[in-house]
Structure 1
Amino acid sequence: MSLYNQTTTIDKIVDIKDSLPKKQRQLCDYILKNHQSIGLITIKELASNANVGISTVMRTIDALGYENFNDLRKDIYDESVPSVSKWTLQKSFTEIEKEEEKAPTLVQVWEESVNLLNKSLDSSLMENFEDAVDCIIKSSYINVLGTRPYKATALYFEQLLGEFYPKIRQLSHDTEVIYDKILQFEENEILVVFAFEPYTNRIIEAVKLTYELGNRIILITDHISCPIISYASVTLKVEVSEEQFSVIPIMALIDALVIEIGKRTSEESIKKLKRLEKTLIEKNITFSY
């Protein structure tokens, strides 16, 4: 599914890159990861940065239906310029004076987290968010998968949503039998997958199998160059930092998904949460005044 409202150059690259020769795919992946800066470089710089020859750039330009690099560069630049949005988060911190020192780690991490949230919340994410919630509500069962550090985000999603929405199954615990579990999917079951660089082969193959079976896939990822983006029914892309490891945008997205699902199923969800709260107090699991 496209990340944009209409067909764009970025869409074209996503659509055709897997059918191109290896070096042209390498160039396409570089453009997808760095499209916001492509409008400011020369063809020689692009070739050098992507570690390909200028001839590879020219052949890729032709494959995309352009006559020259300047036209390609202009279109990518125009698509990459962010539009002003009332949803843009305000900067949370003022500039901290430094005497030839870096800001404390806490401040650096905090500011970068706010920056990532700010950059993630764009019109594409908001539109696809609604599609993702619709897909989840209409499904008969939600299967969740994440590997390596992102197993934690998959577990958080299951734990939070599972408090009131029982139709959720975690696939991240034992990936040795992941294919066995996927082959048992019913027709209306979906897969919610967390896929971030470095992408694991197990995630890629699991998504391909799910796609082949005809089940819908919600992909939460970092780059539109993600190798499984073409298999996704809905893609939710969040920003990642080049400065530090952070899952803040992912966690915020999970919170928003769970809250919206809760709102759409509020009558039943509130009833289940109240019953859970009462049981936990009665069993002396949670403290009550």
Structure 2
Amino acid sequence: MQDHVPDNRESSTVETPPADLETVKQQLADAYPELSPQLKLAAGYVLEHPVEIAFQSIRKSANSAEVTASTLVRLAKRLGFESYEQFREIFQSAVQAGPVELSGRASQLRTLASQTDDQVFLDVGDAAFDNIGRLFTANNQAKVREAAKRLLDARKVAVVGFRDTFACAYHFAYVGRIAMPNIQLIRGQEGGLLTELSAYGAGDVVVAFGFEPYCNETMRALTIARQQGVSPIVITDTLRSPLVPGSAITFTVANATPHFFPSILSAITLIEVLLAECVAFGPDDLVDNVASFESRMRQMGAYVENG
């Protein structure tokens, strides 16, 4: 009777995972003949549906590929990735890396509207749910905790975001200052960027927001901050973003949408999570600051009294 030889093909891995989507696809194509039947199903789906891999949950992708979620995890680890999330980030970065042409996206909205009356409404909603769903991963949870600790330990916090991400920067600074008065919005008006940032240095943190097309002012602010020893926390759309090099912590948030402008929904949600972590795990003074702010606003008549 012939001895059974274990099939170790699935356990072989690449020491260093591929850094871009084209390399992932090439390695999968090269390994395909040697894969087990289940891994072949998974690899075939990955090769033919990169956008779905980027946006779908692992369970949905597994169902579509007619394999188990653990099979997709094994496929990712075969390529050298530590987790499926790390594997999927390659697809997310590739999908989000294309140039943003606002006029072209506006035209696509007209095309959607011509299909059915409710297609635009439904597609924007689907994209919003997908974007937020991709934010709440175990990897991001760990980074949120680390970022909150850095914010709490910082002497001062500068917040930067221009043009399309100014709303994110303003929201972070306005809400954050209620609990942490050491947070300051950097406006950079009338050439004052250098002057505003001159007070920041080692022991301080800069929180920077930037999506493609990336603003020169944001890049300039980060350059100044780094030169002065400020630790950057970057919220951007892809690891290929020019804001990423030199950052202490980077969050890549999904901003895909049929809308003609990149979505800031995930970035705003991340802000809420970060500030919530700071108050939840920070000193009691933060809660006192919130209570004091609310009391002052009411005394000043800032709110309409209902009933």
In the superposition, the TM-score normalised over structure 2's length comes to 0.62
Residue 116 of structure 1: how far off its partner (Å): 0.8
Distance in 2, Cα, partners of 1:241 & 1:40: 26
Distance in 2, Cα, partners of 1:116 & 1:219: 18
RMSD between aligned alpha carbons? Answer: 3.1
Q: Is the 1:36–1:80 contact (alpha carbons within 8 Å) kept by the matching residues of 2?
A: no
Q: Is the 2:135–2:270 contact (alpha carbons within 8 Å) kept by the matching residues of 1?
A: no
Partner AA of 1:232 in structure 2: S
1:257 and 2:277 are equivalent in the alignment: no
Q: Is the 2:257–2:263 contact (alpha carbons within 8 Å) kept by the matching residues of 1?
A: no
Q: Is the 1:146–1:195 contact (alpha carbons within 8 Å) kept by the matching residues of 2?
A: yes
Distance in 2, Cα, partners of 1:191 & 1:219: 8
In the other structure, the counterpart of 2:290 is: 273
Distance in 2, Cα, partners of 1:37 & 1:137: 42
Residue 185 of structure 1: how far off its partner (Å): 1.2
In the other structure, the counterpart of 1:285 is: 302
Alignment of 1:1-289 (within 5 A): 8-9=16-17, 13=19, 31=20, 75=79, 81-82=84-85, 101=116, 103-174=118-189, 176-241=191-256, 243-244=258-259, 245-265=262-282, 267-288=284-305, 289=307
Aligned residues: 218
Distance in 2, Cα, partners of 1:278 & 1:183: 33
Residue 117 of structure 1: how far off its partner (Å): 1.1
Distance in 2, Cα, partners of 1:101 & 1:174: 45
Residue 270 of structure 1: how far off its partner (Å): 2.3
Distance in 2, Cα, partners of 1:114 & 1:233: 28
The 1:275/1:205 distance shift into structure 2, 3 A limit, reads closer
Of 110-119 and 216-225, more deviation after overlay is shown by 110-119
In the other structure, the counterpart of 1:51 is: none
Residue deviations 1:102-123 (CA, integer Å, cap 9, x gap): 6343332222100111123223
Partner AA of 1:140 in structure 2: R
Residue 184 of structure 1: how far off its partner (Å): 2.5
Distance in 1, Cα, partners of 2:230 & 2:247: 10
Partner AA of 1:141 in structure 2: K
Q: State the secondary structure of the residue aligned to 1:230.
A: coil
* CA radius of gyration, larger in: 2
In structure 2, list runs of 5 or more residues that go unmatched.
1-14, 31-77, 87-114
Residue 37 of structure 1: how far off its partner (Å): 6.3
Distance in 1, Cα, partners of 2:224 & 2:27: 37
In the superposition, the TM-score normalised over structure 1's length comes to 0.66
